């Protein structure tokens, strides 16, 4: 039981580390999206175009967010971080599931 608890604690800490790395990439995408939105708005201003509706602002924001996310999601850093996150999450899940099965059979 103590060995299981130690294994779970280690697996949980590793998972949290991976989650932090993944979240850092998502933050990077969000920050990049904000810069892209500013650039899109500046481009509209330079061309003399005006935004007439909130929907138009929303559409610009979605375009900026999708572009920024795509850049991050297609990167090698993202593949590595996401793969590690899922692997570590599954390790935690397996340890918990094994304990549930052990307790259930007793």
Contacts with 61 (C-beta within 8 Å, 6 or more apart), sequence order = 33, 37
The per-residue pLDDT for 1 is 80
Region 85-94: what's the mean pLDDT?
98
DSSP line for 30-82: HHHHHHHHHHHHHHHHHHT----SHHHHHHHHHHHHHHHHHHHHTSHHHHHHH
Tell me the per-residue pLDDT of 54-81, one tens digit each, with 9 for 90 and over.
Answer: 999 999 999 999 999 999 999 999 999 9
Tell me the per-residue pLDDT of 19-54, one tens digit each, with 9 for 90 and over.
Answer: 999 999 999 999 999 999 999 999 999 999 999 999
Measured CA to CA, the distance from residue 22 to residue 89 in angstroms comes to 12
The per-residue pLDDT for 78 is 96
The per-residue pLDDT for 34 is 97
């Amino acid at each position: 039981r103590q060995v299981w608890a130690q294994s779970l604690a280690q697996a949980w800490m590793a998972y949290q580390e991976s989650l932090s790395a993944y979240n850092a990439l998502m933050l990077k995408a969000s920050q990049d999206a904000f810069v892209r939105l500013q650039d899109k708005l500046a481009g509209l201003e330079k061309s003399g175009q005006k935004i007439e509706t909130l929907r138009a602002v929303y559409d610009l924001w979605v375009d900026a967010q999708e572009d920024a996310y795509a850049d991050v999601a297609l990167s090698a850093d993202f593949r590595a971080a996401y793969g590690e996150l899922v692997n570590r999450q599954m390790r935690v899940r397996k340890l918990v599931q094994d304990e549930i099965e052990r307790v259930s059979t007793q």
